[in-house]
Structure 1
Amino acid sequence: MKIPPDANFLHDENAQKLMRILNDHEQDSTRFVGGCVRDAILGRKIKDIDIATKIRPETVAKLLDEKKIRFVPTGLEHGTISAILGGRAFEITTLRKDVATDGRRAVVEFTNNFVEDAMRRDFTINALYCDECGNVYDPLGQGVDDINSHLLKFAGIAHERIAEDYLRILRFFRFYAQLGNFTIDLDGLNACQDLCAGIKSLSRERVWMELKKILGAPLPHPTLNLMDEYHCLQTVLPFEYQLENLIRLAEIEEGADFTLRLIAILPKSIRIIDELAENLRFSNAEKKRFSEWAKFDETINAQNIHANIYYHCNQAIYDNLISQYLMGDGAINDLINIAKNFKAPNFPINGNDLKIAGLQDGPELGKKLKELEKKWVKSGFELTKAELLGA
């Protein structure tokens, strides 16, 4: 089988340059691998271009250095070097086989055998290689057939692949969500259910990264339902959630906002947000958005929306309008447009203005400033500076 001739890495000068350098050093030592091969066969957009080679990493580094190609030893202990060409990184990884695994990390040994390298990969559709001319190599003899059958399946024995790295449970569901039109292997699902407790041993950052990708897929609802059915979602979100809200959310959402989708299924509880922020290692920006949503407890309507945007922010009001919609409030389209587009004005006076007007610095000045601000907001932001100071 050959890769479709329009696959971008077959025409990428920098990718082909790297292949020539490595294959000139050792004939037929180096091939494209994994996602770029898979996505080319599927006719999907290709993002990363990864390369697998028999050549050991220290020799790869020497060859790149001789050609004045900048590189970064991104994972040297695991055989990975990133060559930087044309403003992008190409990961070059020496063929490996696992010597020992503990469900989180592996001790690897370099090999010159493509079959051994393929056997340590997660899914059959990722255990594919091709040369610079687009000839496909399928060492396990299953990847091409599974792509053609649109079947997502672990390479080898599912329980063994998962036990090597429990993150593969979440990757299994993530690939299913992102591929969209694939069937998911039943043996793999059963293995995920049997071993889902292993997710707890993973770093929280890695778990959150995978969950975000699942939530950000075009249609995450079927995948999350499967995760729930096979008791994997509860390991990540250990509280009551409302997956059916994603169906209703799909009627009005614009784009694939993983934060909004998680908000849609979460109980509205600052305690749960704090727990999740700790358990999943939210970024500061993520925690702020979730917290502002959870703390807001007012029903938003046409009379109070502008004031609420002023006191809070557009995003918090938008998120809470979505919550109102999910609870049955269907008349929010105009309010959503306001939440997205209204720019709150700046309060026209400050403490110095009040001091010039004769007020002494201290608690009374702050109290007066808040009183005038409240009056200004209640006026629909229409009172002028002169009118406020004359009040």
Structure 2
Amino acid sequence: MQPAGTIPPQDWMTAPATRAVLDALTADGQTVMFVGGCVRDALIGRPVGDIDIATPDPPETVTALLQRAGLKAVPTGIEHGTVTAVSGHRPFEITTLREDVETYGRHARVAFTDDWTADAARRDFTMNAMFCAPDGTVYDPFGGWDDLVAGRVRFVGKAEDRVQEDYLRLLRFFRFYARYGRGAPDADALRAAERHASQLTTLAAERIHHELLKFLEAANPGPAARVIHDHGILQPVLPEARHAERLRALAAVERELGVIIDPLRRMAAWLDLREAHRLGARLRLSNKQDRHLRQLAAPAETVRADMAPRDLRRPLHRLGRDLVRDLYLLAAAERSAAGERLDAAALAAGLREIEAWQPKRLPVDGGDVKALGVPPGPRIKQLLDALDAWWVDRDFQPGRAACLAELRRRVAAEHPGG
């Protein structure tokens, strides 16, 4: 491979934990390079997350080198040449250069190699098929750097072949398009996605769910969601994904208000939730995720984007901060998607009320009801629920004495002269 350029060494490349791994892997003179996402994100100035390193050494040698240097080596994917090094409490994925011998769905039979270009050729997108030496020299055998700068998400080789190797790459393409793409999507990739969308039904629901949540973590997945809808990509497995404009609007509201992205909230914006009770099982959501999605579909209290901060306290008391926050943002997105102009200052004031909320507890309890002669049974809860509603209507202001007085009045009203 010929160098394609250089980047100045960055903090993640020169950090002591990284240097310890590099020193261990190169102790016997071997060449190793950073690969994949860390190279891609470094080239465009995005924060680098996972650090992956490629080496011609087989995993047994990698393990021995790491252990010799006093580093922990975990055989996370030994049959495919992957060892995880732990240095400075941070994981580094070390993978032996590979080439595919045979592919079948998600899996492939691979052979280890010392050919860097052959290894790059088996990766999904050109922007993920770049290497970077520890000194910052970049190697780019398939034009990924130009594609990255231009906002082109392009498969290595023929899109048709790469998609058929693993149909999840259909969704992975749109995830990368949402994160890195600009303009129209790559025509070959889009044709392959359309042609094989029906094959998504052959994938495990967990894989689809995981990929969709990653897609929804993009800064603005709305335009990609529109392409997905217009070309029927998710129709075979998730026909409810039809509200791309509402998803776009939610991303804009989140950005305007400085709200941390929550992919499940975005999923609620994107999907038609009229059958939310079926989605959890179909997507293999966790019980917590399933419950939250159902509550967003049919909340026990109404939350509107035009509610005054004081009026938000009732649903906050009933539903809790997290659910009210999501309902509030979704309501704002609904209005924005319908073409309404939102009052950013008013929205921000409501959000501040939500974030500042501290749970409040009615100053009286069942013991106080029993002390007034009410026998154990469902009537105690009914009285407390009614008193709680009275207390909430007064903005939680009545203290214990006032609440006890109201409770006595209600009990006495049920048994006049008693």
Distance of 1:201 and 1:101 partners within structure 2? 16
Distance of 1:17 and 1:2 partners within structure 2? 25
Distance of 2:370 and 2:75 partners within structure 1? 61
Q: Match for 2:360 among 326, 342, 345?
A: 345
SS for the counterpart of 2:197 is helix
Q: 1:240 to 1:246 in 2, by over 3 A?
A: closer
Distance of 1:345 and 1:145 partners within structure 2? 56
Contact 1:152 1:182 in 2 (8 A): no
TM-score of the two chains, using structure 2 as the length reference: 0.83
Displacement of 1:63 in angstroms is 1.6
1:77-106 CA-partner distances (Å, limit 9, x unpaired): 211111111121111001112233222222
Residues 313-332 of structure 1 aligned to structure 2 (within 5 Å): 313-325=320-332, 326-327=334-335
SS for the counterpart of 1:2 is strand
Distance of 2:220 and 2:51 partners within structure 1? 26
Displacement of 1:14 in angstroms is 3.1
SS for the counterpart of 2:136 is coil
Length, aligned pairs only: 387
| Counterpart residue type for residue 291 of structure 2 | K
Residues 112-191 of structure 1 aligned to structure 2 (within 5 Å): 112-138=114-140, 140-181=141-182, 184-191=185-192
Displacement of 1:26 in angstroms is 4.8
Displacement of 1:118 in angstroms is 1.2
Contact 2:7 2:137 in 1 (8 A): no
Q: 1:239 to 1:45 in 2, by over 3 A?
A: closer
Displacement of 1:352 in angstroms is 1.6
| 2:285 maps to 1:267 | no
- Matched with 1:41 is 43
Residues 170-319 of structure 1 aligned to structure 2 (within 5 Å): 170-181=171-182, 184-239=185-240, 241-253=242-254, 254=257, 255=259, 256-269=261-274, 272-296=275-299, 299-300=302-303, 301=307, 305-319=312-326
Contact 2:152 2:182 in 1 (8 A): no
Distance of 1:382 and 1:16 partners within structure 2? 60
1:266-292 CA-partner distances (Å, limit 9, x unpaired): 3342xx222221122223332222121
Residues 351-370 of structure 1 aligned to structure 2 (within 5 Å): 351-370=366-385
Displacement of 1:315 in angstroms is 3.1
Q: 1:355 to 1:84 in 2, by over 3 A?
A: same
Q: Match for 1:4 among 7, 24, 35?
A: 7
Distance of 1:186 and 1:319 partners within structure 2? 36
1:180-205 CA-partner distances (Å, limit 9, x unpaired): 54763211111111112222222222
**Which one is further off, 349-358 or 151-160?**
349-358
Q: 1:202 to 1:40 in 2, by over 3 A?
A: same
Distance of 1:384 and 1:104 partners within structure 2? 62
Q: 1:20 to 1:289 in 2, by over 3 A?
A: same
1:46-73 CA-partner distances (Å, limit 9, x unpaired): 2222111111111211121122111211
Distance of 2:395 and 2:376 partners within structure 1? 28
| Counterpart residue type for residue 38 of structure 2 | C
Contact 1:104 1:202 in 2 (8 A): no
Distance of 2:45 and 2:54 partners within structure 1? 22
Contact 1:215 1:262 in 2 (8 A): yes
TM-score of the two chains, using structure 1 as the length reference: 0.89
SS for the counterpart of 2:229 is helix
RMSD of the TM alignment (CA)?
2.6
| Counterpart residue type for residue 405 of structure 2 | E
Q: Match for 1:23 among 23, 26, 42?
A: 26
| Counterpart residue type for residue 104 of structure 1 | R
**Which one is further off, 374-383 or 65-74?**
374-383
**Which one is further off, 333-342 or 241-250?**
333-342
Contact 1:51 1:93 in 2 (8 A): yes
- Matched with 1:387 is 405
Displacement of 1:148 in angstroms is 4.4
